[in-house]
Structure 1
Amino acid sequence: MQIKESHFRGVDLNLLVTLSVLLRERSVSRAAERLHLGQPAVSGALARLRELFDDPLLVRSTHGMAPTARALELERRLLPALAEIEAALLQRREFDPLASDRTFVIGMPDWIELWLAPFLLACLAVHAPRVRLAIVPTDPFRGTDMLERGEMDLGVGPFARGPAWRRERDVRSMGFRCVYGAAPLQDGGRLSLADYLRFPHVLVSYRGGFDSAADAWLATQGHAREVRYSSARFASVPAILHGIAALATVPAVLADQWCASAGLRQLPSPVPLPDFTVLAAWTTARDSDAGLMWLADRIASLAGAGEGLAT
């Protein structure tokens, strides 16, 4: 395909990037924050874009700024092109982990960080001593949006299977275990449904709820449990379980880790819960980023290395 250079006169690639962020955020102030620019600069860029495309692009509405039909068409056609440009800019034929000083932004729920981060940092200390990691919080509901917004280079979590523009690989499949501290239960036994219902529960819910798949199953059996505490984070659970006679149902690797390091105990859950899969996910634009692919390989290798990682 032959490109006519004259068609690009007066077009600044940064303007198109600004347009994509404005269309995503639907707000000049939020776009300015995302782009690390002042609001006057983004307002000026929007004025230039309106002139360039001879269209208002974003108009005020009761819910902020709404895109015009022309803006939506530009978004549909320009975003894939910008992704291809990003991929070309990021492409590295080789990645030397021993020499690299890159910083990778990885999104993880806190329980995955508690589980994997120590092993990942130990691995990097040997194989990529100058590489830095910035861990940002994510969860199964926000992972895809955070990748699309460029808020993380790589997501590691129990995400649902994603859209076509998202790449993913299975990291590890696992189930759940019931953990407890102060609750007077017998080690090495089985947790009966009666005991499961007798004690209150601590629940981790990313949306601040007080029910989960376990409660849905209990309802089909004519039962209900008492969930006394709900949090979006796992980190506080061990201290709570040492303080009160309660139960928490957590991913198996975290249960193993807490039993080894935090003095908790665990038993199989009497509620049948399906296994789930932890994924590593990135955008198709990063497929040719050798450094990111190297890091995804390391994470998958560490997570799948066997039960030794959990203890």
Structure 2
Amino acid sequence: MNNLRRLDINLLLTLDVLLAEHNVTRAAQRLHLSQPSVSVHLAKLRELFDDPLLLPGPRGMRPTARAEALREPLRRALEALELAVAPASPFDPGAATQTWSVAASDYGESTVLLPALAGLRAAAPGTRLAVHELDPAQMVRQVEQGVIDLALHTREDAPPGLRHRVLFSERYVLVGRAGHPRLRRRPSLAQFGKLDHVVVSPDGGGFHGITDSVLAQAGLARRVVLSVPHFLFVLSTLASTDLVAMLPARLVRDNPALKVVEPPLAVPGYEMVMLWHERSHRDPAHRWLREFIVAAL
């Protein structure tokens, strides 16, 4: 490391050209420098390596054994450095082979990833997609360490410090099975409270949600008889029972097995966002994936 601190990249570039040309004048022309400048560089290089490096010969200059030993390692090192500092090449989805990792709840899977999946397979057939269970407590660490590339979460509950983009705004609707006898029309607030409700509790076992908070502000309550951790189980439950649920509208649209009506109270919705870390913000492949998901929605 001490040797590296003594190095000047311009001296190494000069040495690389000198070892290729064996001539100070031609090296100066290639480097767009004056001949005296190249000679000064050569003098510094000789001092740095404690070796003459290039000696006068009958046809130009000939390298010393030390210079010959330097030639290939120096060339490889400069090529690697050039590659490291070169501008990022454009992302070609058709030739891409990477694996993307996205953290999402089953709601995010259904409303964000599923609409994008067919197009993603067509545009980037050589890539793979790994979907991880959303763990808000671990999200920041996961994106910092590259365990996941993107997370899909609500804006209100998104951790600070991450890049984000709003995907859509969501609202709640009242849902039951098709032909539900008490959902032939929009129920009154009193009728709403007497229905048997299901709630989604991501942490498990909770019987209180945003709808209950709104009801409590008006001094009202509803009857919640089932608590489940996943949205998709709710859909199957509603289709086969007389239970009802307040669900995000995107999750239930175009589902012939379900009846959707406007609830008799206004329940605040939320914004769905895509989250990622600064470390991957400018990566061409990562940027392409983000834009593709947005376009798919």
TM-score (norm 1): 0.63
Select 2:110's aligned residue among 98, 114, 118.
114
1:297 corresponds to which residue? 291
* Higher Rg of the two aligned structures: 2
1:268 corresponds to which residue? 262
1:283 aligns with 2:277: yes
Alignment-mate amino acid for residue 252 of structure 1: A
Alignment-mate amino acid for residue 274 of structure 1: P
- Give distance in 2, aligned partners of 1:133 and 1:282: 16
Q: Is the 8 A contact 2:106 2:231 kept in 1?
A: yes
Q: For residues 26-47 of structure 1, what are the alpha-carbon distances to aligned partners after superposition, in whole Å with 9 as ceiling and x for unaligned?
A: xxxxxxxxxxxxxxxxxxxxxx
Shift in Å, 1:185? 2.7
Residues 154 and 179 from structure 1, CA distance in 2 versus in 1: closer, same or farther, beyond 3 angstroms? same
Select 1:255's aligned residue among 252, 255, 270.
252
Shift in Å, 1:140? 5.4
Q: Is the 8 A contact 2:113 2:293 kept in 1?
A: no
Q: For residues 251-272 of structure 1, what are the alpha-carbon distances to aligned partners after superposition, in whole Å with 9 as ceiling and x for unaligned?
A: 1100214x24xx1111112232
- Give distance in 2, aligned partners of 1:163 and 1:151: 18
- Give distance in 2, aligned partners of 1:149 and 1:199: 46
Alignment-mate amino acid for residue 237 of structure 2: I
1:167 aligns with 2:186: no
1:237 corresponds to which residue? 234
- Give distance in 1, aligned partners of 2:232 and 2:183: 25
Q: How does 1:32-181 map to 2 (within 5 A)?
A: 92-138=88-134, 143-148=139-144, 150-159=146-155, 160-164=157-161, 166-181=162-177
1:46 corresponds to which residue? none
Q: Is the 8 A contact 1:171 1:279 kept in 2?
A: yes
Shift in Å, 1:93? 3.0
Alignment-mate amino acid for residue 290 of structure 1: P
- Give distance in 2, aligned partners of 1:140 and 1:183: 36
For 2:167, what is the secondary structure of its paired residue?
strand
Q: For residues 224-270 of structure 1, what are the alpha-carbon distances to aligned partners after superposition, in whole Å with 9 as ceiling and x for unaligned?
A: 1121111221111122113321111111100214x24xx11111122
Alignment-mate amino acid for residue 289 of structure 1: D
Alignment-mate amino acid for residue 288 of structure 2: W
Residues 143 and 232 from structure 1, CA distance in 2 versus in 1: closer, same or farther, beyond 3 angstroms? farther
TM-score (norm 2): 0.66
Alignment-mate amino acid for residue 104 of structure 2: M
Alignment-mate amino acid for residue 284 of structure 1: E
Select 2:186's aligned residue among 187, 190, 202.
190
Residues 141 and 210 from structure 1, CA distance in 2 versus in 1: closer, same or farther, beyond 3 angstroms? farther
Q: Is the 8 A contact 2:210 2:267 kept in 1?
A: yes
Q: Which moved more, 1:273-282 or 1:238-247?
A: 238-247
1:216 corresponds to which residue? 213
Alignment-mate amino acid for residue 198 of structure 2: V
- Give distance in 1, aligned partners of 2:248 and 2:96: 34
Structure 2: gaps spanning 5 or more residues: 6-83
Residues 173 and 142 from structure 1, CA distance in 2 versus in 1: closer, same or farther, beyond 3 angstroms? farther
Root mean square deviation of aligned Cα: 2.5
Q: Is the 8 A contact 2:180 2:259 kept in 1?
A: no
Query: Displaced runs of 4+ in structure 1, greater than 2 A?
Result: 3-7, 115-119, 139-151, 159-164
Shift in Å, 1:113? 0.8
Q: Is the 8 A contact 1:191 1:270 kept in 2?
A: yes
Q: Is the 8 A contact 2:103 2:134 kept in 1?
A: yes
Identity of aligned residues (%): 29
Alignment-mate amino acid for residue 235 of structure 2: P
- Give distance in 2, aligned partners of 1:213 and 1:284: 32
- Give distance in 1, aligned partners of 2:230 and 2:153: 14
Shift in Å, 1:143? 3.7
Q: Is the 8 A contact 2:183 2:261 kept in 1?
A: no
Structure 1: gaps spanning 5 or more residues: 8-87, 304-311
